Each structure stands twice: as structure tokens, then as C-alpha cells.
Amino acid sequence: MKKKVLAAVLSFCMIVSMIPATAFAVVYQPITIYTNEYYYDKGDTARISWYYGGTEEPAYYTLYMDDNPVQTWIYGRTTTYTLRTPGNHTFKVEAYGYDYSTGKYKFMGQSDTVTVSVGESYDEPEITTDLPSTKRVNSGENAKFDIVIYNPDGVEVTWEFYENTRTGHSSTKLDSGKVYTGGSISSAFKANIDDNGNGYYFKVSYVDKQGTVRNLYSQSCTLTVNSSVDTPSISISPSYTNAYVGNSITLSANARSYDGGHLTYQWYFGTNSSFSYATAIVGATSATYSGYAPATAGTYYYFCEVTNTLNGQSASDWAKSTVSVGTIAPTPTAGSMNNFRAVNTYYPGLFVDVKSTDWFAGSVQTAYQIDLIKGYSTPQGYAFQPDGSFTVAEALAVACRLHSIYYTGSAGFNQGAVWYQVYVDYAIANGIIKNGDFVNYTLNCTRAQMAYIFAHSLPSNEFGAVKSVTSIPDVNAATPYSAEIYTLYNAGVLTGSDAKGTFNPYSNIKRSEVAAIISRVAIPNTRVY
């Protein structure tokens, strides 16, 4: 391999100690010693020079390396010396003149020392792993280019990365940097269709031992950019299954694209085997669908449409699963979360004021299906009133339904003249609330009161902690029902109203918020972990 040393000049000077005036008839000046470089390799020759400013030329000079004399000259102020031992070495020069009064040579002074470093060897940088001649990526993906350089002596290497366009072959610098050791040099950018067919290469520059700038060039790599978007392949597992009315069902879409595009999912439901008649299921946008079989026996069809998107282009396909729903429902188990199953059929547009894009739409669907919440008849149609208030009586009604379904599998209650009295009596009898907790059940329910009521709707073991919340910004020991609030936070039922987890305990709760909370109470896998 070639060699290179950083060229440099070191100069050290020392005022020569004055010899007594009686010894010489000359004026002494400083001796300054130079070396043209301070890094060498074993076997290199160092050029050493010095300057003596006196009016009388010394009779001879002696060069010392590491305080040992190595050369003597009668005339001249420069010499060369071959360096054969690695390590740090010092050089100095001593001057001697002839004293005619004594007939002897006398010491006239010495220079300061210069230090040079001698290495075992010197290797110039080189490219040891080059670019491939071609590279293929998909549009929108990162095109990454790497070369590996060998640079054991740690010289400064400047690199530049260029695009060589196919038209006109003009080059544009895209990236640059410096390195001081060997290893990988990388550059990357997001490829698009305009980059197809262009060439890319690295230019590596360094200064060699003689001070000359040297350039190395990698091989040029031609980039091929795929512009088409693959239609995803998709299947649903299981493709056919049996279920009972109201039972939970789980379907999984197995989808794949071969161009690295982004896959998105949307599940549909229909009573006809044709996809064109199916209706989108609110909130069902993941690869797995978990829901409830319809409340009426029959044959139903679930479709999953998968869309592959790449660089603004998309392609879609769908697959179908057939679900045969029987009329024999399982016998409820006393005290089981499995008792929460669909008994009401929900369809998009059931509530005139709930759109499929609303954040609470999926929760409203779940709460309605498992018979926890109902709507209102209005002149505009059947409505949910998501922004409407929620009274203490309504909170007790929901809590009693949760409790009854959990223990009996049914939420049947016979209302009297005061519609909520049956729920008040049931709640007190079953320990959901205590007699005297509330004076007026028709008042709006606060968020803290809601937490208190819902936290006692199921046994405490059904609210096992899934996370550790030890601090809520606006809830402390003095906050009413703080224990129940923390229980629901740690169970993943409550999440707060902002990124800090603020609860707003004294604010009235809205029906849309209630739908989200009771869905998490009844369906543990929807809780926030």
C-alpha cells in the first residue's frame, strides 16, 4: 500500500548558554533546529536543519538522537537521518568551536529539542468494499449506499457523494463528510420515480505523504426504482366458522405486499355474499377483528379490504369469511365476564347523531350491542345524544345492568312509576352504592361520581391493575372518590382528558364519554394498557 505522512514543521529554539568571555572571541546566538515533518514511518529519512546566528562559524556540529550522538559535520547546517526504531524520538544539535588560546575545541552551545514520532508502517486509504453496479428499491423507500475504506493510520479523509443523472451525465453533490478511521461511509435518500436510471458514486480525498491531494472514486451504482404498487394478497382465518347468537367472534386477515408498501385494513359486514352489498364496521381497521355475532340466527359474511399504499399510489383487494350463527346461546356462568355478549343488533345509522368517523362510534356500538345503553326517540329519529348530560340515575341504571349481566347473563329490569327507583334499590341491595350517598338522583353525574358508581358495578378482582398510576394532576386524597378513580386508572378503564392524565373530577360527564368507559369495563381487551 502507498504511504502518507502529514507534512509539518516544528521549530524549537533555545538561547545558548554563554561561554565565559575569556574563552572565545565570538558573539553567541541562539541555535534553532527544524525538522520538515513530525510523523514518520519506520525506514523513512528525516531531514533536519538548524540555524546558527553567530558571526563566527563553529568548527563542527554534532546531532544527538535521544541524547546519543549520531552524526558530526565540519560544515553545513542540514543533514538527513534514517529512522529505524518506532516510537517518539528527540533530536538536538550542539556546536563546537576551536579556541586558539588553548588549542582545544570548546562547546559553543546547543539547540532545544524537537520530537518526532516514528510508526511501524504507513498505509494510504483505499476503498476495500465498493458499491454494487446496480441497486433496486421501491418508490418512497430509502436508497442507501455504502462503501468501506481502509484507513489504519487515521489520516483525515473527506468524502463526497454524487448523483450522476442519466441525461447529460452531469453530477450533483448530494452529501459530504469527514472520517478519521476506516470503516463504512454511508449516504441515503428517499427514492422516487425521477431517480430511476441515475448513477451514484463516492469521491474520497486525502493528502498523501508528500502533501499532494489524492482522490479515490467508487464504482458508479445505477439505481432502479420500482414505480408500480402491488395488489396485496389476502386471506381470512377462519374462512368459515360457527357461532351462537351474541357470542364473541375473532377473525384475522393475513395480508402481504411484495413492494414494501403500507397496508391498511377495513372490515365489512353483510347478509349477502357479495362484497358490494357489505357495510363498513365502525372502528374495525386492524388486521384482527373482534366483535359479536348478530343477535339473530342466520348466515352472515365478514369481509376485510386491504389497501397497499406506496408513494401516493394504492391498490386494494378483499377476502371473505362466512359465519353461521345458531340460535342456541351458551348458559350464562354466574360471575363471569363471558356473559357480556351481543343481544342487540347494531348497524351504521342506527343513531342519527353517530357518524362512523366519530371517536366514540365504536364504543357506542359495543355498549348498545351488549345492552348497557340505549337511545332516545326524537323528531329527527332514534338518537344517542353523545354530547348530552348523564344523570346519577342513568349512571346507576348502567351500573346495575353491568352487575346483573355479570352475575345472571341478563339485564332485565322492570321499571315503575319512578323509572330509576328499581335501579336505586338494586344498587343499594348489591353494594354498588350506600343508602344516603346521593340526595337527588336526577342531578347531572360528575366524573368523580361516575367513577365511584362504575368501580363498584363489578367485583374488585375484575379491575386488576394493568399499569401503575401513582399521580393524577387534579386528584388527591381529599378528592371525593379518589380511591375509585385510581382503581379505574390503573385498570385501564380511565385515561384522563389530556396527555398529563387530568381527570376533571368535578365536571359533568357526557354520554359519549360514558359509552367509552363502560365498554372498557365490560370488555377487558379494550382497556388501555
pLDDT, one tens digit per residue, over 164-187 is 875 556 788 999 999 888 888 999
Answer positive or negative: Cα dihedral of 74, 76, 82, 85.
positive
Using 50, 70 and 90 to split pLDDT, how confident is the model at 12?
A: very low
Measured distance CA(411)–CA(124) in Å, rounded: 84
Burial class (CB in 10 A: 0-12, 13-18, 19+), 171: middle
The span from the CA of 293 to the CA of 303, in Å, is 14
Tell me the pLDDT tens digit for each residue of 132-148: 999 988 777 889 999 99
Kindly report the number of other CB atoms within 10 A of residue 176's CB atom: 13
Average pLDDT over residues 304-332: 85
Cα 466 from Cα 282, distance rounded (Å)? 26
Q: Given this model, what pLDDT does residue 29 score?
A: 64
Whether 268 and 304 have beta carbons less than 8 Å apart is answered as yes
* Cell numbers placing 39: 510523523
Specify the residue for cell string 554534532. 62
With a CB cutoff of 8 Å and minimum separation 6, the contacts of 102 are none
Beta strands in 311-410 (DSSP E): 313-326, 376-378, 381-383
Tell me what the pLDDT averaged over the chain comes to: 86
157: alpha, beta or left? (left if phi > 0; alpha if psi -120 to 50) = beta
pLDDT digits (tens, 9 = 90+) for 495-529: 988 889 999 999 999 999 999 999 999 999 889 88
Helix, strand or coil, per DSSP, at residue 384? coil
Residue 188 to residue 199: CA distance in whole angstroms: 13
Q: Give the residue from 285, 297, 303 showing the smallest Cα distance to 324.
A: 297
Q: How confident is the model at residue 315 (pLDDT cuts 50, 70, 90)?
A: confident
**Pair 149, 183: CB distance under 8 Å:** yes
Q: Which residue has the cell 322492570?
A: 414
HSE (CB half, 13 Å, CA atoms) of 41? 12
Using pLDDT thresholds of 50, 70 and 90, give the confidence band for residue 155: confident
DSSP class per residue in 462-496? GG--SS----BTTB-TTSTTHHHHHHHHHTTS---
The set of long-range contacts for 49-56, using a CB threshold of 8 Å and a minimum separation of 24, is 49/77, 49/78, 50/77, 50/78, 50/93, 50/111, 51/77, 52/77, 52/95, 53/29, 54/26, 54/27, 54/28, 54/29, 54/108, 55/26, 55/27, 56/24, 56/25, 56/26, 56/97
Per-residue pLDDT reduced to its tens digit, 477-504? 999 999 999 999 999 999 988 889 999 9
- Would you state the cell numbers that stand for residue 237, as one nine-digit string? 382465518
Phi, psi of 360 (to 5 degrees): -100, 0
Dump pLDDT digits (tens) for 26-49: 445 678 888 878 888 777 888 899
Contact criterion met (CB below 8 Å) for 173 and 181: no
482: closest CA among 493, 492, 470?
Answer: 470
Q: Is pLDDT above 60 for 246?
A: yes
- 51 burial level (CB within 10 Å; 0-12, 13-18, 19+): middle
